[in-house]
Chains A and B, each alone.
Chain A
């Protein structure tokens, strides 16, 4: 084992995030089994479905890199969906909803950041608790029933295309590129790397550790708000169940994409392909007629396998 793990080729390959292998593997599988699925229109529709997940991942990868996690996404998603679909703000303009959503995401992100960064609460518990509170509030307001319809403007934007590519997909790619530039060209990106690599060393080196953690959570909150807007536009109706497993999938996609808890390393495009892998996985499972329980098992196995891949690699590099 040690001979194999110390081999330079193994080391080179083990640096590539598993997302790329899974993406290519699924693509080949589709190409062999269902070649007619591989056309721009069909793929566009499937990829459009994972855009909310993709945007959520942009925030999740930030918090995971600073050794935190954000599991409050489902609550924010429900709350924003409720604002828009319940008729609570009937007749309000699109910009009002966007502003309200961003403000919500910002508030929840700041709260998470304060709890994790300042109060040093366990990030899993804190964000899960925030999630439970938000879900409880929305379900109480909606009394368990799905609210009404979403204004048609949302759906119109969602259905437009830029050349052949659906607008949400373009939005996602642009956002990912912006995040990539933000992390590689700005001081904040360097701070994220150093806090993730070693928070104690970072503090002694004058890196504002707490501020970096709080800012990461705040950006994650904003990303959740954007993801909620796209998600709401896509389903076009109010729902009290929508997106409850998105935050977990976002964690999974982030890990598939080569971002590991508290190691500071990993880029933006690895998780991007992690999300695309999920899109393909859903295509493959749908075309092979695998039901909901089978999908759950497959998700679990893939997350565990990716985590084990990284765990073994980390153990190998330590010894």
Chain B
């Protein structure tokens, strides 16, 4: 037991990354907030916290798919804004909800094709995609507003059997993500592809018969679809389309993934680590709000945390 714990904290459980550290941070923040403010441990605040953390958890899970294969998706923020803008166009939910997923999958497909087939660096491909998607979003909806389908609003605000719906969102997303990442051959292949890239033998997985290009492409499609899911959740919460709602989401998602022990060079990570990472981010935001810290300072603190976390991740390769 004791050796297992030490091994976990030292990150010797190599494929899962150092998630225990993040877990301890989360625990420490919970204890600190619980002791220092009376409001924190109320049911209302905790529920609020779940609803606040949910879009980031969903986006971070998607981001993790591409980070596992040594990539990065800087377009998820734009995809989130885009999703809310499309939903707010006023089309009935039965059309617009499948519609946003198809559009998000297409965005992911273009990212994936650019990266795997056309040899474009993931950062450049997804960055230019974020420009294109943001531009289209601002054409569709220059300022926030519009009519979000009632079904989307009900799916976020209501409750079922006395349990608020965001909790169900969380459980279902996590089950789906667990199936993809830890319960399928596709997930295993992502680890294999990324592990090869991180160790400098980029064709290692391919030599064992893994369709590395197809799986990498699917990781980008998955990432966009998860971002779109987060967008649907956000649209339900803010009850409108907003071209700026996804701003800087990609950075929060990357930070969450990195805090959760996923190596940004690929091949190492875990779903629970990513979820814990996103929860740490949400707890920090919640705590800083309760402590009345200015939103600008909060931004700076988030940046410093990102810097610290990735600064602790030593890599073999220098560069991007």
Contact = CB atoms under 8 A, between A and B. Distances in A.
A301 B294 CA distance: 37
Contacts of A293: 134-139, 142
Contact of B314 (A66, A120, A124): A120
By DSSP majority rule, is chain A's interface helix, strand, loop, or mixed?
A: helix
Given A123-B320, A255-B124, A300-B135, A130 B118 contact: no
Contacts of B142: 293
B125 interface: yes
Contacts of B296: 136-137, 139-140, 143-144
Interface stretch (B152-160, B270-278, B297-305): B297-305
Given A125-B258, A126-B307, A129-B306, A67 B136 contact: no
B121 A119 contact: no
A110 to B, nearest CB: 15
Taking each of B264, B297, B311, which has the highest tally of chain A beta carbons within 10 Å of its own beta carbon?
B311
A51 interface: no
Contacts of B128: 252, 299-301, 303-304, 307
A91 B125 CA distance: 46
Contact of A300 (B129, B300, B302, B306): B129
A262 B319 contact: yes
Residue from B120, B125, B127, B318 with most neighbouring chain A CB atoms (10 Å): B318
B303 A311 contact: no
A135 interface: yes
A162 interface: no
B72 interface: yes
A249 B61 CA distance: 29
Contacts of B121: 261, 307
Interface residues on A, range: 35 or more
A124 to B, nearest CB: 6
Interface string A208-220: 0110010000000
Given A124-B123, A136-B300, A312-B118, A67 B319 contact: yes
Nearest to B110: A304
B135 A297 contact: yes
14 contacts: A116-B319, A117-B318, A124-B72, A132-B303, A136-B302, A140-B294, A210-B318, A296-B132, A297-B139, A300-B129, A300-B133, A304-B120, A307-B128, A314-B119
The winner among A199, A248, A252, A296 for most chain B CB atoms within 10 A is A296
Given A66-B319, A132-B251, A143-B296, 16 more contacts: A115-B307, A121-B311, A121-B313, A122-B264, A125-B306, A132-B300, A133-B307, A136-B299, A199-B318, A248-B127, A261-B121, A261-B319, A298-B135, A304-B114, A307-B120, A307-B125
